[in-house]
A and B are shown apart, each in its own frame.
Chain A
Amino acid sequence: MTAATIVQIVAWGAKAISFIVDLISKAVEQAQGGAAPSLDDLDKRLAEHQAGDAAERAKRYAADVADAEAKVREVAAREYSADLAAEIKKP
């Protein structure tokens, strides 16, 4: 067996082992909940929570209050009408 053949065998072996290790790494990553996101991806995701968050939340709180007040009036009017209709129906 010549030195060149041995070097070639070693090279093939290294490629095969590298392939197997790569497969194992991917399997471990999957088992740990998928591939790690890139920093750009994380930056993008975190930026979504930063941009105007306080203002956005204040708007959401105010909208919930306004919707609640509107709902109270709507339900009160319905309740009033139902109450009145029930009274009219009474013998």
Chain B
Amino acid sequence: MRNLLIACLFLLAAMGLGACSDPVRNARRTVGVIEATTAAAELDVARGARTVILDLAEAEGHRRGAELRAAGCGPACATQPSTALIDPCKGVVAASEARLAAEVKRVQDAQRRADGALDGVYATLRAVVKFLRVLTDPRPDGWEATLAALVGAAVKSSADCAAAVAGFKQAIKGGAK
């Protein structure tokens, strides 16, 4: 009888430990954590890019206003696009527009690269969830290896994405002057 009690105890302990190390539950938890981290990074990238772009616009605005004044242009020139003006004011505004466009493009190119990496993470997370959805009972042979490979791909893409976001932050640093 004592042996039976001990066996019950071991069985329950094994069930409890099994629940803690259930690959499906762990996969769901990993997907949840990566999704939350990626969503936060996405927000971070969008806000970071916008802040830098508006800072660039502020700096360019000061420069354009001063240049227009120096060129003897009227105050209305400051609020007009270059296409609505005539030289020399047209040239001043056109040059300013080109400078701003180049800087904004630089920031948005970096943003697009980071967004591409974020999309890659979401795709790997969807693959894990899709696999878990179609996982039948009884489970097919090798399901644990497949799940581990899918989760591994998600973790790797998340690491790649973190590097891409760090690269984005590095790339936009020059724009916040």
Show the binding face of A for B, using Cβ within 8 Å. Answer: 6, 10, 13-14, 17-18, 21-22, 24-25, 28-29, 32-39, 41-43, 45-46, 48-50, 53, 57, 60-61, 64-65, 67-69, 71-84
Residues in chain B near residue A22, CB distance under 8 A:
16
Whole-angstrom CA separation of A60 from B119 in the bound complex: 16
Q: Which 9 pairs, one residue from A and one from B, show the smallest C-beta to C-beta distance?
A: A75-B61, A79-B65, A21-B16, A76-B65, A71-B57, A36-B29, A68-B57, A76-B78, A76-B64
Interface string of B14-48 (1 = CB under 8 A from A): 01100110000110110111010011001000100
Residue of chain B at shortest CB distance from A60: B46
- How many contacts A-B (CB < 8 Å)? 156
CB pair A72–B42 under 8 Å, yes or no, is no
0/1 per residue, B69-111, Cβ < 8 Å to A? 1000001001111000000000000001100100010001001
Residues of B within 8 Å of A33, CB to CB, are: 29, 33
Residue of B nearest to A77 (CB): B78
Considering the chains assembled together, what is the distance between the CA atoms of A29 and B19 in angstroms?
10
Give chain A residues whose Cβ lies under 8 Å from the Cβ of B33: 33
